[in-house]
Structures are given as C-alpha cells and as structure tokens.
Structure 1
Amino acid sequence: MGKRLADQRKSYEQGQLDEADTTSEPLALFLRWLDQAEKAKNVTEPNAMTLATVGADGRPSTRVVLIKDVDERGLVWYTNYNSRKAQELAGNPYAALQFHWVELERVVRVEGRVEKVSAEESDAYFAVRPLDSRIGAWASPQSQVIANRGVLVANVAKLTTRFGLNPPRPDHWGGYRLVPDSWEFWQGRKSRLHDRIRYRLDAGIWVRERLAP
C-alpha cells in the first residue's frame, strides 16, 4: 500500500520578506507576525507550535503545544513535568519551536535553551485555566501507558470529588521558557525561491542574515 504525492504542488505567492520589512531584533518581527496570524480569520490556533526535543538516545521527538506568553525573556508553554518532553529536557535542556501558519504561507523557527518558569508564574497561569483543565492536570499521567480511557474518566471523577472547585496546581505541572539564541522567519515565494531571514545571537547582539531557500 502507498500513495504517490509527487504531483502535489502549490505556488506560494501571498507575500514577501525583504530586509527593509524586518526589525533590528527578532521579537518585534515575531510579535508583528503573530498579531497578523491572530487577526487572519482563516488561521486556526495561531498560538500552536511544534516543540522538538532530543532524548538521551539521540532520537528527536515532536509534539504540538500552545504558546502562553512571550516577551524579551523567551517563549512560554505549560505541561506535565513527568511527560516525555520534560524527561528529555531534563537530560538535554535545548529545544526547537516551529510555528506554521499555512494560510499565510509563513513559518517561524526558534531555537534555544529551555528553563522552567517560576512557581509563581505557573501558579498564576494555572489559576486562570478552566476547571476541567485544572482537574485534567491531576487526572492524566501524561506519556504513561494506561489500560483504557476509563482510567482517565475514573481519575477525573475521583479528583473532582476530592478538590471540588479549587484544585491546587500539582507539583508535577508547570511552565517552561525557551530562551532563544536563533530565530528564522520563512515566507513562501514563487518558484520555491522562498525568503528566509535568520537572526542569531552573537555576543549578546542579534545578527540578521538572509539564507538561501
């Protein structure tokens, strides 16, 4: 069984990325692109990003997470500290993120060191999550093998009875921040001659350069 995909093609012609359209620091350009993705009515979940980590065996793994905060310190997401991604970050605290806004023919790639956010930051975000999501943080032994979905349902029922409307943040749940040392902005162009602008951190200064597609 299989499927031939060699004939599937798309011409990227929605935009361009000239150096004159960029900013001296990558965060400003990212915030501009993120704002445009949020305002585009056809982009679903513009805050979704693929997170890539590497295990002790050298094998990479990816998953989609949601960015919840971004500023000069880096990009933040929240997860279970016992998950596969967390275990891999504990052994190798470097990761890559990718935003793919298909409808805008844009990609943003970010690489850097990862650190946990403070307990206070995790507490503040946990407190504004929907109740079901807060219970879910307790109920799901993320990345662990379970017998069936009934295990989760039973855990939710038990924990709802235990905590009621005020579940505290579990110690095994909280945020990570990727501190960038490299950003790449990709804009699709016709004939596969895409625009790629990279920012790399050199001695505390962002160096901006164009990459061949």
Structure 2
Amino acid sequence: MNQAQPITDVVFDFCGVLIDWQCHAALDGHYPAELVEKICADDDPYGFFRYEDDMDSGIPFTSELETVRREQGDDIANVFRYYIEHYDDALPRLIPGAEELLRDLRAQGIRVWGLTNWSADTFHFAFEKFPQLDELLQGTVVSGIEKKRKPNADIYELAQRRFNLTPSTTVFFDDTEKNVRGAQNVGWHAFRFTDTEQARRDLRTLRALR
C-alpha cells in the first residue's frame, strides 16, 4: 500500500471503539450478582456471547430466544430476553474522545463510516442513545442486517462498494485483532483500537490527522 496517498476515509467499529459496551450494566441489580458475573465472564457457561454472535450474523431475536430456551431452560431464556430488550443499558457511554475524533476528521474533509458486527434487533439502540453518531457517521454497515460479518472479506467489500472506498486511502479501527486482519486482507490500512489517543497517533503515521 502506498502511504503517500492521502487518506480519504476512516471506518470505525462500534462497541469498544465508539461505544463503551458493558454486558453487566444491563443486568446489574435485576439478577443475582453471581449469575451476572457468570453471564458476563469470558467463559460464560450460559453462552450469551455465542447467542449474540448468532444474532450479529442475522438470526432474529425471536428465533435465537427459542434456541436459548431449548439449550438453557426457561430461567436463562428469560434473562436473555430481558438483556436484549434492555440492551441500551449495556451501552453506558461513548468511548472517551470518540465524538471529538469523528468531528476532527470531518472538519479536515475526511469521510467517516461505521462497520459493526451487531444484531439487526438491537442496533437501533446505538443511534437512539447516541444521536451524535448518527449525525457524524456518513453511513454504517451492520452485520445483522446484511447477514455478513467481520472478519470475512465480503462485509468489507460490501462497505467498500456502498461507501465508494478506495482501499489504499481507507483506514479501519477495530478492537478485535482478527477483524483488523480482515480489513488488511482487502487492502485497507487497519489498526487495533485501544483508545482514541492511540488512534490519533496511528492516523498521524498516515498523515491523516493534524
């Protein structure tokens, strides 16, 4: 890739990059603390993350709820229903500095976009809770709507066509390494996101941000 070409577009993942996602925030105070801790742990025995991944891939909530009920029983299915219906509570805030970064990029004439693995049933919460993202992003590709997901090449290629992106002048930020590699595999510049200050430093290495 020719880094001398000016960057024209920056594409952002959502959770962990633009929005702070906290599983427990939707459940704390509504269910026993020990149960919430298990559900929100990386080795969750109830499979909530797996069920969310299914929804991110395009499976409707009503269908996935029946899978949860079949595999985990009514009690856990009812917790999952509550969690999905109150998903906005799991989005407590924007990532610090994210809005300012989007505004600074827009002010420099760089286009900004979203590309997220997110369920079609819950994505609406993102823009309802944080309307400034809807204002600033010039378009967003949502896996659950498209039934394509990162890190597979087809979702990046869809975003590329829809947003008229040129790979060598496009930058992507994601907090998951495999999704970063997926973007690099289609020719985009891509960085693992840790915080907005690091993102600014990464952009400056490409002369994409003053």
Of Structure 1 and Structure 2, which has the larger fraction of its residues in strand? 1
Rg comparison, structure with higher value: 1
TM-score, normalised to structure 1, is 0.22
Of Structure 1 and Structure 2, which has the larger fraction of its residues in helix? 2
**Larger relative contact order (C-alpha < 8 A, sep ≥ 6)?**
2
TM-score, normalised to structure 2, is 0.22
